[in-house]
Amino acid sequence: MKERDRMKFSEDADQYIWLEDLDDPRVREWVSERNRRVKRELGPFSEKLNPRIERYYSIPLVIALEASRKGVFTITREEGAYKIKLLALNGETRELVDSRDLGEDVLIKALFTDNKGGRFAISYSFGGSDKGFTDVIDTASGEVLDRLEDMVVYYIVWLGDDEYCYVRFFREGVTPDGVSAPASRVFLRKDGSEEMVFGKGIETSYLISLKEGGGGSKAMLNVSYGWSRSTVYAGDLRNPESWRVIFGGEDFRAFPIDFVGGDYLVASYDGEGLGRVVAVSEGGGARELLGEQKYPLIDATVAGEKIVANYLVDASSILKTFSLDGAEQDEFTFEAAGSVDFLRTAWGGCVFRYQSFTIPHRVYSLREGRLSILASEEVPGDFEVEESWVTSKDGTRIHAFSVKRRGAQPDKAYVFGYGGFSIPLTPRFSPFVIPFIEDGGVYVHTNLRGGVEYGEAWHRAGMRERKQNVFDDYASVLRDLKERGMRVVAFGRSNGGLLVGATMTQRPELLDGAVIGYPVLDMCRFHKLYVGKSWVPEYGDPDDQGDAAFLAQYSPYHHIRDDVSYPPIFMYTGIHDDRVHPGHAFKFAARLDDAGHEYLLRVEEMSGHAGATPKTKIDEESDLMAFVYKALGMAK
């Protein structure tokens, strides 16, 4: 990058950097004025949409599940709250926790349970913040046995009734061994006291995950740098000093599955990057158990005497079972394009959640070669899902789902994209788009490079200096819709907000509206805001001259032009978003102001990157969809 260009993208040239100070009264007033503008412009139609969106939010939704001998524990969103429920194999359900009993504006974000089901833990926060509380609770009595406060906890594994290990993510400050945040460490907690037992010396931006294996005898850990490189550690669960490297440590991703028959089973994404399963002996020898298949491996678990593996076929899940020596047995498909996740060993088989565009959830049990439904919800109505392909700028074929009312011939499209961090954009239930589909629109769900829908090579083709591929992929979908005579609104959140911001600044003629949610938009400073440094492996390092050059080429904040006509813009974020700093959206909006472009910016006081209460989400998404209806000429 030339010196002249470096100065253009430097902090000294950033006249809106003051908007990053969320405690500045000037910033609060600036935000309030923009919220008032949203209310004036969208209020009446938003109020009209609100009850329709609330109707679909009222359908119970299993958000997460964990299995134990006692049953399946779930986080379920229903009745305007988040609840912890225990679902027995016979279908009986017991409610254990209601988020409203924890306080106002509480979001339950994570759930953990011991093998017996006698203890479970929940992580929750106020206003959608990542940082919050973790309560360990007795299942029978509901008594809170222990509490971790003011921290981010990602994983818990029990060693006994009153002893457990947990992974703490340090968002700020330093770890006990003096490593600067962001960083992860494992702590052993017993009788209210704790000590750090794993992670000493692991550098900044490395993340740790923890699970048990072998029915509770082994600890299995994944230490990852970014989303394409990791190392697997394992050892005796009750002896952290025995935890050692068993696999990985090179330039590929891996994760532990289980410990069975004297071997650690590990998913490895070396080779073609589609995923294979390797058996690693306690002595260190490794052999391939399952080779790479035609489609990417997303997850796997050991269920009795079988391995159950989740593969993606054009971004939809299929399950395959294999014997423990790797022989393929059965394949299970689903009647609609959908996603399998939370694959957990249970009752001699496994349980999992299935979800599609119109099925909020099905909780399945797979035992003795048979699938059975333990719980299910469906959206009333007659919808159809179509799949299509377009060709990107470099000739790569890009897949997308389209959801519409059966028999409809839509001419208005709402197009969702993400394309990053090895996250596959599989079919998901989104309550707020159902009224739009009912009113004749088509919801388009894109599978762009940067995700892992077609393996690790697909991910790597959309990261770092190849990020422009993602924007080109998205533009190819939008261009195809426009050429078919449609009006189009682009929608993305987080990394997807970066996608829409870049597309808007590069190809504004393809859009009739842009919805940019909780976005990353300043690619020259993202690593200095909150936990942004942990994204350097995915995006590149702005402090590196070579990386800074390709980041500056597309950084949306730096590419707003005075002489370009942009489509209508709706941005939204939350003051409590402590993962992606709201300053990204604020500065982008201020630059639009400076260039004389109109936009709307909505800033929620009670939401963050982790989410919000159902009511807060309904209000936010009612405003969002009111903008979409107006941009597409559907507001009546």
Selected catalytic residue, list 494, 534, 555, 607: 494
Are residues 38 and 65 located together in one domain of the fold?
no
Are residues 265 and 369 located together in one domain of the fold?
no
> Can you tell me the distance from the alpha carbon of 422 to that of 298, in angstroms, rounded to the nearest whole number?
10
pLDDT of residue 2: 54
Are residues 93 and 190 located together in one domain of the fold?
yes
With CA atoms as reference, report the closest residue to 240 among 189, 283, 170: 189
> In 3-state terms, what secondary structure has residue 622?
helix
> Can you tell me the distance from the alpha carbon of 263 to that of 286, in angstroms, rounded to the nearest whole number?
9
Q: Is residue 513 part of a domain?
A: yes
Contact between residue 401 and residue 424 where contact means Cβ atoms under 8 Å apart = no
Q: Is residue 112 part of a domain?
A: yes
pLDDT of residue 4: 47
> Can you tell me the distance from the alpha carbon of 383 to that of 405, in angstroms, rounded to the nearest whole number?
4
In angstroms, the Cα distances linking 24 to 27, 127, 236, 441 are 5, 20, 50, 42
Mean residue pLDDT across the chain: 95
Is residue 445 among the annotated active site residues? no
Selected catalytic residue, list 534, 609, 619, 622: 609
Is residue 459 among the annotated active site residues? no
pLDDT of residue 10: 58
Are residues 345 and 441 located together in one domain of the fold?
no
pLDDT of residue 576: 81
Is residue 146 among the annotated active site residues? no
Are residues 81 and 150 located together in one domain of the fold?
yes
Structural domain count, the chain: 3
pLDDT of residue 7: 47
Are residues 372 and 393 located together in one domain of the fold?
no
> Length of the chain in residues, anyone?
636
pLDDT of residue 605: 83
93: alpha, beta or left? (left if phi > 0; alpha if psi -120 to 50): beta
> Can you tell me the distance from the alpha carbon of 309 to that of 365, in angstroms, rounded to the nearest whole number?
14
> Can you tell me the distance from the alpha carbon of 285 to that of 557, in angstroms, rounded to the nearest whole number?
50
Q: Is residue 2 part of a domain?
A: no
Are residues 266 and 223 located together in one domain of the fold?
yes
Are residues 255 and 346 located together in one domain of the fold?
no
Q: What is the pTM of this model?
A: 0.95
pLDDT of residue 452: 98
Q: Is residue 32 part of a domain?
A: yes
> Can you tell me the distance from the alpha carbon of 208 to that of 232, in angstroms, rounded to the nearest whole number?
10
Final residue of a structural domain among 330, 356, 378: 378
With CA atoms as reference, report the closest residue to 537 among 221, 230, 160, 88: 230
Are residues 221 and 120 located together in one domain of the fold?
yes
Strand order in the sheet with 132-138: 106-113, 119-126, 132-138, 144-160, 163-170, 183-190, 193-198
What's the CATH number where 161 sits?
Answer: 2.130.10.120
With CA atoms as reference, report the closest residue to 206 among 185, 227, 224, 222: 224
What's the CATH number where 468 sits?
Answer: 3.40.50.1820
Q: Give how far the C-alpha of residue 415 lies from the chain's centroid of Cα atoms, to the nearest Å.
A: 18
Q: What is the DSSP string of 376-408?
A: EE---S-EEEEEEEEE-TTS-EEEEEEEEETT-
pLDDT digits (tens, 9 = 90+) for 332-351: 999 889 999 999 999 889 99
Are residues 321 and 262 located together in one domain of the fold?
no
Are residues 256 and 334 located together in one domain of the fold?
no
Secondary structure in 3-state letters for 176-221? CCCCECCEEEEEEEECCEEEEEECCCCCCCEEEEEEEECCCCEEEE
Q: Is residue 312 part of a domain?
A: yes
pLDDT of residue 456: 97
Final residue of a structural domain among 265, 292, 319: 292
Angle, alpha carbons 397-398-400 (nearest 5°): 145
> Can you tell me the distance from the alpha carbon of 165 to that of 127, in angstroms, rounded to the nearest whole number?
27
pLDDT of residue 90: 78
Give residue 74's domain range: 61-292
Q: Is residue 4 part of a domain?
A: no
Query: How confident is the chain (636 residues) per 10-residue block, as mean pLDDT?
Result: 51 87 95 97 97 97 97 96 92 94 93 96 88 95 96 93 95 96 96 95 96 96 96 97 94 97 97 97 93 98 97 98 97 95 95 98 95 95 97 99 97 99 98 98 99 98 99 99 99 98 99 98 97 96 97 98 97 89 97 97 78 87 98 93
Q: Is residue 240 part of a domain?
A: yes
Are residues 522 and 571 located together in one domain of the fold?
yes
φ and ψ at residue 421, rounded to 5 degrees: 60, 25
Selected catalytic residue, list 14, 130, 512, 577: 577
Contact between residue 525 and residue 11 where contact means Cβ atoms under 8 Å apart = yes
Final residue of a structural domain among 264, 292, 320: 292
DSSP conformation class of 594: H
pLDDT of residue 215: 92
pLDDT of residue 516: 99
466: alpha, beta or left? (left if phi > 0; alpha if psi -120 to 50): alpha
> Can you tell me the distance from the alpha carbon of 88 to that of 114, in angstroms, rounded to the nearest whole number?
16
> Can you tell me the distance from the alpha carbon of 125 to that of 336, in angstroms, rounded to the nearest whole number?
35
> Is cis: bond before 51, omega within 30 of 0?
no
